Amino acid sequence: MRYSGFRVIWEALTGHKGWTPAWRDPAPQSDYDIIIVGGGGHGLATAYYLAKEFQQARIAVLEKGWIGGGNVGRNTTIVRSNYMLPGNEPFYEFSMKLWEGLEQDFNYNAMVSQRGVLNLYHTDAQRDAYTRRGNAMRLYGVDAELLGRDQVRAMYPFLNFDNARFPIKGGLLQRRGGTVRHDAVAWGYARGADQRGVDIIQNCEVTGFRITDGRIAGVETSRGYIGAKKVGVAVAGASSRVMAHAGMRLPIESHVLQAFVSEGLKPLIDGVITYGAGHFYVSQSDKGGLVFGGDIDGYNSYAQRGNLPVVEDVCEGGMSLMPNIGRARLLRMWGGIMDMSMDGSPIIDRTDVDGLYFNGGWCYGGFKATPASGYCFAHLLARDTPHPTATAYRFDRFRKGLMIDEKGMGAQPNLH
Amino acid sequence: MIINHPLLGPRDAQEFTYLGDANLLNRPNPDAPDAAERFYEYLYLRDNPAGLHRELWYHEQGDRSWLVVTRNTLTHEITKVELARDVARAAQAAGESA
């Protein structure tokens, strides 16, 4: 079924009896050409692009729980491509371009809203660093504007401009950045993949890999053995656990990152604001809740919930940036498990096992990368060569000293 | 989280900074022929277990001691706290360190 305005009106007039499930619930077949482990945003996007752009068939996505139940449903929905380094910026800009055409491409309303991402600066040194980053972005053809204090004040007059310690001196604005309805990204990719014949198999946990003579033969799952010519693992948050089944140790630690939403408020913030002096970023959802987050808790965790000291720290950051939210009540908070890679950048690469591919290490920046991650991983799975924008995301960069240290902090909590 | 310090008793985890896996105590021998490979594994690769994890915490806001804390990464429950000094010396005595 194709979704359209006409369809909505037609269904409204006929009692909404014509809607069908957005994807099937197939039983697993005995074998597939390509199995994607992980039915999150990245896994579903991979399956979608494999079927649509790389003409692959006989694909399955195996998901331990329900699709979109992990980090794609737990993030703060921000998309942007304001990176600096050569290994990163073309990739994230590729992702941004895919976001821009995504809803038409997969015929699903993902509420892509390019409302602008503003990174504030508070010192002369920070202004210089942002100037450099903005220039690097523009060299790659990405939009970036350095705003002065008055321009920021015109956009957000309520910010704490005259804070004695961290006065706001301006900001780096990427107007094409913004927010996307995160769950709809998973659902849209799932529906698009399903329409192209991909089997999305939920409640199917991978419990092991069957490897013969250094080549992948299939996966053991909670619903039985499934054969496969190629297996792609996209399970960020649980990467170390899944890849341990293949005997691999990864340059990754799992950490918990919390996010928060306030009660619904009247329209206040029409873009995304990040605080340059603390770790705090905020946008306002269409329902009116302020959606915000801060730093990782800073210790290994698989618990999907954090502790109160970070809640206090994030709220202090919010209060010092915009004191007017002081009376707003916190509605909900939750945690997600991040693959913190050792240099803070992701991995999309082959492994030592033939036919086994890995996608992970997204730290806390995986959501914005969803379309490009799926596209590049599909490229790698289908053609066995990395996509031109993802050539730097290799396992061996740590061994060779070719780290992509955008911020140079990775998993090390005391560097954040 | 409350860390039961072996010398000072129960202390809030906020007083500590976290470093990571206690395997960082087992620094490879820089003179070994395969030192580059072993330092790569030491520096970058992690077991990252879901369950019991032995990890290094530094009592920065307290007595500046390093601790080896055994904590469950699924529940955040702390089951054992040792002085890192004692752990390192015990490993040395047992000839485990490289």
Condensed to tens digits (0 to 9), the pLDDT of residues A53-84 reads 999 999 999 999 999 999 999 999 999 999 99
Stretch A270-296: mean pLDDT, rounded? 95
Condensed to tens digits (0 to 9), the pLDDT of residues A70-126 reads 999 999 999 999 999 999 999 999 999 999 999 999 999 999 999 999 999 999 999
Structural domains of chain B ordered from first start: 2-24+34-93 (3.30.2270.10)
d(CA B56, CA A410): 17
Query: Is the minimum CB–CB distance between B2 and chain A shorter than 8 Å?
Result: no
Condensed to tens digits (0 to 9), the pLDDT of residues A139-169 reads 999 999 999 999 999 999 999 999 999 999 9
pLDDT band at A193 (very low <50, low <70, confident <90, very high): very high
Residues of B in contact with A397 (CB under 8 A): none
pLDDT band at A316 (very low <50, low <70, confident <90, very high): very high
Q: B48 vs A254: CB contact, 8 Å cut-off?
A: yes
Stretch A194-200: mean pLDDT, rounded? 97
pLDDT of A410 strictly over 90: no
d(CA A322, CA A161): 9
User: What is the nearest CA distance from A411 to chain B, expressed in angstroms?
Assistant: 9
pTM: 0.95
Condensed to tens digits (0 to 9), the pLDDT of residues A373-406 reads 999 999 999 999 999 999 999 999 999 999 998 8
d(CA A36, CA A28): 13
User: What is the nearest CA distance from A305 to chain B, expressed in angstroms?
Assistant: 9
d(CA A406, CA A402): 12
Residues of A in contact with B67 (CB under 8 A): none
Q: A254 vs B73: CB contact, 8 Å cut-off?
A: yes
In a 13 Å sphere around the CA of B95, the CA atoms on its Cβ side amount to 0
pLDDT band at A413 (very low <50, low <70, confident <90, very high): low
Distance of CA A359 to the CA centre of its chain: 12
Angle at the Cα of A360 from the Cα atoms of A185 and A44, rounded to 5 degrees: 30
Cα–Cα separations (whole angstroms), residue B45 to A41, A280, A343: 26, 30, 12
Which of A250, A298, A413 comes nearest B46 by C-beta?
Answer: A250
A89-106 and A182-195 helices cross at what angle (nearest 10)?
70
Positive or negative, the CA dihedral A316, A318, A324, A330 is negative
Q: B44 vs A342: CB contact, 8 Å cut-off?
A: yes
Query: Is the minimum CB–CB distance between A241 and chain B shorter than 8 Å?
Result: yes
Q: Which helix (H) or strand (E) holds B70?
A: strand B66-72
Q: B48 vs A398: CB contact, 8 Å cut-off?
A: no
Q: A249 vs B74: CB contact, 8 Å cut-off?
A: no
d(CA B70, CA A61): 36
- Give the rounded percent of residues in chain A with a pLDDT score beyond 70: 99
Distance of CA A65 to the CA centre of its chain: 19
Query: Is the minimum CB–CB distance between A400 and chain B shorter than 8 Å?
Result: no
Stretch B44-63: mean pLDDT, rounded? 96
d(CA A413, CA A168): 26
pLDDT of B70 strictly over 70: yes
Query: Is the minimum CB–CB distance between A402 and chain B shorter than 8 Å?
Result: no
- Give the rounded percent of residues in chain A with a pLDDT score beyond 90: 96
> Residue for token digits 């720290």?
A313
What pLDDT is stored for residue A310 in this prediction?
94
Which of B18, B41, B44 comes nearest A299 by C-beta?
Answer: B18
Q: A240 vs B47: CB contact, 8 Å cut-off?
A: yes
Q: Which of B40, B42, B46, B57 to mutate to test the interface with A (most CBs of A within 10 A)?
A: B46
What pLDDT is stored for residue B98 in this prediction?
43
Q: How do the residues of chain B divide into helix, strand and coil, expressed in percent and rounded to 5?
A: 30, 35, 40
Q: A250 vs B75: CB contact, 8 Å cut-off?
A: no
d(CA A136, CA A121): 17
Q: B55 vs A241: CB contact, 8 Å cut-off?
A: no
Residue A331 is given by DSSP the state: E
Complex confidence, ipTM: 0.94
pLDDT of A412 strictly over 80: no
